[in-house]
């Protein structure tokens, strides 16, 4: 099933538009590691699992993406 036809439930406070990701330019890590891909679409950042591209994508605002990247750089998500 194409991503554009998947119905997603909107959470309270959801302020992000439905994005057409069917033509998104998905990018993988420069090292080719991991299963995460991202795409920049209409001022938002979409993230998906490259092993299951048909699954729903996470959508971030630029501020949310910046906080995520900062946390990752600071080791917030590292396993201890």
Q: What is the pTM of this model?
A: 0.71
How high is the pLDDT of residue 16?
73
First to last CA, the chain: 38
Q: How far apart are CA 10 and CA 29, in angstroms?
A: 29
How high is the pLDDT of residue 12?
56
The rounded Cα 39 to chain-centroid distance in angstroms is 7
The answer to whether 39 and 23 have CB atoms below 8 angstroms apart is no
Q: How confident is the model at residue 5 (pLDDT cuts 50, 70, 90)?
A: very low
Q: How far apart are CA 74 and CA 44, in angstroms?
A: 23
Structure tokens at 15: 């302020």
């Amino acid at each position: 099933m194409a991503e554009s036809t998947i119905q997603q439930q909107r959470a309270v406070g959801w302020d992000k538009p439905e994005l057409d990701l069917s033509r998104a330019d998905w990018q993988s890590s420069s090292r080719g590691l991991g299963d995460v891909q991202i795409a920049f679409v209409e001022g938002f950042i979409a993230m998906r699992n490259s092993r299951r591209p048909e699954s729903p994508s996470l959508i971030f605002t630029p501020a949310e993406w910046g906080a995520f990247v900062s946390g990752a750089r600071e080791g917030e998500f590292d396993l201890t």
